[in-house]
Amino acid sequence: NAGVTQTPKFQVLKTGQSMTLQCAQDMNHEYMSWYRQDPGMGLRLIHYSVGAGITDQGEVPNGYNVSRSTTEDFPLRLLSAAPSQTSVYFCASVGQVAGELFFGEGSRLTVL
């Protein structure tokens, strides 16, 4: 009963490096999203997807790229990491009830 699985849990990057945060869910949910969590700011939506092949921008999309080739997977790509992207990233999928999100355990990213 895995739910939403994120990898890696921790990552340190240098400015300018690129990387991909992986997210997979086994609940057959159509809707998936990525949030970042920063102290004192709650969670802010980066990108979301309403189904395979469909993605859209959230509140803070700059510097991030996503794709959704399957229902299960929704990777988040950092194109050229910047210190401002130091954060905790959460992937979530949405079940049958509007607003009921199922979150992964998070990926803590540090950009030096």
Partner 1 sequence: GNSVTQMEGPVTLSEEAFLTINCTYTATGYPSLFWYVQYPGEGLQLLLKATKADDKGSNKGFEATYRKETTSFHLEKGSVQVSDSAVYFCALSAGGTSYGKLTFGQGTILTVHP
> At closest approach, how far in Å is the CB of 7 from partner 1?
13
Cα atoms in the Cβ-side hemisphere of radius 13 Å centred on 18? 7
CA dihedral 88, 55, 75, 102 (to 10 degrees): 60
Shortest Cβ 79–partner 1 spacing (Å): 23
Residue 97, sorted as left (phi over 0), alpha (psi -120 to 50) or beta, turns out to be: beta
How far is residue 112's CA from residue 70's CA, in Å, rounded to a whole number? 33
Q: Is 109 in the site for partner 1 (CB under 8 A)?
A: no
Q: Which is nearer to partner 1, 1 or 14 (CB)?
A: 1
Give the residue, chosen from 101, 109, 111, 112, that forms a contact with partner 1 under the rule CB under 8 A: 101
Q: Which stretch binds partner 1 (CB under 8 A): 15-23, 60-68, 75-83, 93-101?
A: 93-101
Residues 17-36 that bind partner 1 (CB under 8 A): 31, 33, 35
The site map against partner 1 for 30-69 (x = CB under 8 A) is -x-x-x----xxxxxx--x-x-------x-----------
